């Protein structure tokens, strides 16, 4: 052991010098930019370290590809540990940067040596060639997704979380300085993207795509390891299946990548495949691990619990036993759910005491309702999905595996209708699981039955439709980001998240409101419009107070952020009054009229009015 530690230190120090020299030389002679030079130096150091540790530290002259893959994973793990330790000590604990670097310098070698000793060069912990293939495929898929979406606009909800989480990390208090109707877990999920953006000096949007691609690769690798034990699925079909699953969970979400409903699907995949009878009986430890990972997605919205619930009910009926209901997986979901509620109560009590009561009164007004929810479910692409699910359920050759996947599809369908707002991203769990079902049928079938043909039809049809729709686009951010970028901070009076945060993110300016949109207002206006306030006086009084809160928030935000541009949406949705006017609504607070005296109408379109703040140097309109 002492000899290994000496060689470990010598190789590590030399590798650090290799990193520095390679980075400097590539920047000087190959003219690489700084980030690429650093990456080149890191890769050279990894190769040198692998050869040095294999030959001298652990005396493994030929570790092969398996050990090199494990070594690369351990190197990346060390890099992540270094970033995490530095962030926690310097940013979170606010200790001097020197102390953070010292702690990282102590922690990383310990972690790295432990990984090398117990995993990379441990003969008992060898990784099979099949697992290595799955690892390479999963990483390649993640890399492909990252390449396709790199530099593209990200959907408006994710844009809001990037803005709001950054504000939270800078000291704002959730549900006080940052107002959001959803529980806090998605703020925590956005933190890694912001940390990576700061460390790698890339945009927050690209960093979010990077983190998502890594999560996708990890989930796919876990699914690959689950189906490795299925002898009836040969290697070629395994490869086709894992690639097909990746396409099934990414393509239907092309315009909604990293939305909460999409992230749910990625987290739930290992749990779902663990439910398939063909994958065998799994240990309690495996069930808990997969359910724990799945819980990280399920906790994003309370509605998501219906997916494991419907799958468990289907298994209980098919097995004529209550055992699936009381499985280790379901107990894990329950523990995570209760633990999350307790966490929110202790750490973010304002969510339960302030946001939830208001949301109970007014949030139902945001979204589409009634027949519109049904109509939005039935664009052409969902019709073949529905036929496939029905046909699979009724087909005589159905088995327990397709039954589990059909139950997941029905769970995704229930998620959409339970939310009852008709937003397109909410149908992603259904379309993704239905696509996975189609891929499964194609891969495991032994003949071209009608079921296989119909599955191929569904895949080709849906992939064509979603690919034609393309990645997320936002006209507001596309057309007006240059104008807003010239002036700085922006505030938008609108009920649509799509009209605000994407614009601020694209223009790289400060978002000057604590809300993602004015989601309080539709409930107030519609509630007062549809209520008999003489009879429902208490309810109407609560609505009026919420309206006062909405106006007060806007006024305080404008006073705090002094936005250079205030954008007014002249066609805000979800409000049942056709002549609704934001200026008239806000002028019920006298302070707003005084504020607007400092602004002049600079630009007007059919949809938006742009008010520009008058500066000391420019007291008249352009």
CB half-sphere exposure, 23, CA atoms < 13 A: 17
Taking a C-beta distance cutoff of 8 angstroms, is the pair 286, 273 a contact?
Answer: no
Q: What is the pLDDT of residues 342-364, one digit of tens each?
A: 999 999 999 999 988 888 777 65
484-487 own/partner pairs: CB under 8 Å, 24+ apart: 484/509, 484/565, 485/509, 487/564, 487/565, 487/612, 487/613
Taking a C-beta distance cutoff of 8 angstroms, is the pair 426, 368 a contact?
Answer: no
Taking a C-beta distance cutoff of 8 angstroms, is the pair 593, 554 a contact?
Answer: no
Sheet with 490-493: strands ordered across:
490-493, 565-569, 608-613, 599-604
**554 vs 564: CA distance, rounded Å:** 15
Q: Mean pLDDT: which of 120-124, 313-317, 450-454 is highest?
A: 313-317
**pLDDT at position 108 over 90:** no
Global pTM?
0.78
Residue with tokens 């191929």: 456
The CA-based angle 55-56-59, given to 5 degrees, is: 60
Say what the pLDDT of residue 494 is: 92
**461 vs 382: CA distance, rounded Å:** 10
Taking a C-beta distance cutoff of 8 angstroms, is the pair 172, 274 a contact?
Answer: no
Q: How many residues does the chain have?
A: 622
Per-chain mean pLDDT for the chain: 82
- List the single range of 30-34, 97-101, 238-242 with lowest mean pLDDT: 30-34
Query: Which pLDDT band, with edges at 50, 70 and 90, does 620 fall under?
Result: very low
Taking a C-beta distance cutoff of 8 angstroms, is the pair 512, 563 a contact?
Answer: yes
**346 vs 340: CA distance, rounded Å:** 10
**480 vs 143: CA distance, rounded Å:** 31
Query: Which pLDDT band, with edges at 50, 70 and 90, does 319 fall under?
Result: confident
User: Is pLDDT larger for residue 128 or for residue 495?
Assistant: 495
Say what the pLDDT of residue 554 is: 93
Q: What is the pLDDT of residues 575-591, one digit of tens each?
A: 888 788 999 999 999 99
Q: Is 597 helix (H, G, I), strand (E, B) or coil?
A: coil
Q: What is the pLDDT of residues 50-62, one digit of tens each?
A: 777 777 777 765 5
**H or E element that contains 539:** helix 537-561
**How distant is the alpha carbon of residue 166 from its chain centre?**
15
Q: What does the DSSP assignment read for 249-280? A: HHGGGGGGTT-HHHHHHHHHHHHHHHT-GGG-
Query: Which pLDDT band, with edges at 50, 70 and 90, does 372 fall under?
Result: low
Say what the pLDDT of residue 416 is: 85
Strand partners, 493: 568
């Amino acid at each position: 052991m002492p000899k290994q530690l000496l060689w470990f230190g010598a190789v590590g120090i030399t590798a650090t010098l290799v990193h520095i020299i390679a980075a400097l030389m590539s920047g000087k002679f190959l003219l690489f930019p700084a980030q690429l030079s650093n990456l080149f130096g890191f890769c050279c150091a990894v190769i040198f370290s692998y050869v040095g540790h294999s030959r001298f530290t652990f005396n493994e002259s030929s570790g092969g590809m398996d050990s090199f893959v494990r070594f690369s994973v351990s190197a990346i793990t060390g890099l992540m540990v270094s970033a995490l330790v530095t962030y926690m000590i310097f940013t979170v604990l606010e200790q001097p940067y020197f102390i953070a670097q010292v702690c990282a310098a102590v922690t990383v070698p310990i972690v790295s040596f432990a990984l090398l000793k117990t995993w990379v060069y441990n003969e008992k912990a060898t990784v099979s060639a099949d697992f290595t293939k799955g690892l390479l495929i999963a990483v390649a898929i993640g890399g492909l997704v990252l390449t396709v979406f790199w530099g593209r606009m990200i959907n408006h909800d994710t844009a809001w979380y990037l803005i709001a989480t950054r504000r939270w990390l800078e000291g704002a208090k959730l549900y006080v300085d940052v107002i959001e109707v959803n529980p806090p877990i998605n703020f925590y999920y956005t933190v890694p993207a912001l940390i990576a953006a700061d460390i790698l000096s890339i945009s927050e949007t690209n960093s979010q795509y990077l983190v998502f691609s890594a999560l996708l690769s990890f989930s796919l690798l876990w699914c690959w390891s689950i189906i490795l034990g299925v002898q009836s699925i040969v290697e070629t079909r395994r490869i086709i299946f894992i690639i097909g699953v990746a396409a099934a969970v990414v393509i239907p979400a092309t315009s909604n990548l990293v939305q909460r409903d999409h992230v749910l699907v990625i987290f739930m995949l290992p749990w779902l495949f663990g439910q398939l009878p063909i994958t065998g009986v799994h240990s309690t430890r495996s069930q808990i691990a997969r359910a724990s990972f799945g819980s990280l997605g399920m906790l994003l919205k309370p509605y998501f619990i219906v997916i494991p619930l419907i799958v468990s009910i289907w298994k209980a009926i098919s097995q004529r036993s209550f055992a699936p209901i009381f499985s280790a997986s379901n107990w894990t979901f329950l523990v995570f759910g209760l633990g999350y509620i307790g966490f929110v109560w202790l750490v973010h009590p304002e969510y339960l005491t302030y946001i939830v009561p208001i949301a109970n009164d007014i949030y139902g007004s945001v979204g589409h309702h009634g027949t519109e929810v049904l109509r939005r479910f039935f664009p052409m692409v969902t019709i073949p999905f529905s036929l496939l699910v029905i046909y699979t359920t009724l087909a005589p050759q159905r088995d327990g595996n397709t039954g589990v996947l059909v139950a997941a599809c029905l769970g995704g369908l229930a998620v959409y209708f339970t939310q009852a707002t008709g937003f397109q991203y909410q149908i992603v769990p259904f379309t993704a699981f239905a696509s996975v079902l189609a891929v499964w049928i194609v891969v495991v079938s032994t003949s071209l039955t009608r079921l296989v043909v119909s599955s191929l039809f569904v895949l080709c049809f849906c992939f064509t439709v979603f690919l034609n729709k393309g990645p997320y686009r936002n006209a507001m951010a596309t057309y007006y980001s240059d104008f807003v970028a010239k002036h700085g901070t922006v505030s938008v009076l609108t009920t649509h998240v799509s009209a605000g945060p994407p614009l601020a993110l694209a223009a790289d300016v400060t978002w000057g409101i604590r809300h993602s949109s004015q989601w309080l207002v539709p409930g107030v206006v519609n509630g007062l419009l549809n209520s008999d306030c003489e009879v429902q006086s208490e309810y109407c009084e609560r609505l009026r107070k919420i309206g006062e809160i909405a106006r007060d928030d806007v006024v305080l935000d404008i006073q705090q952020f002094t936005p250079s541009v205030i954008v007014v949406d002249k066609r805000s949705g979800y409000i049942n009054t056709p002549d609704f006017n934001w200026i008239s609504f806000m002028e019920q607070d006298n302070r707003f009229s005084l504020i607007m005296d400092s602004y002049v109408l600079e630009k007007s379109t059919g949809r938006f009015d742009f008010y520009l703040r008058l500066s000391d140097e420019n007291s008249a309109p352009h």
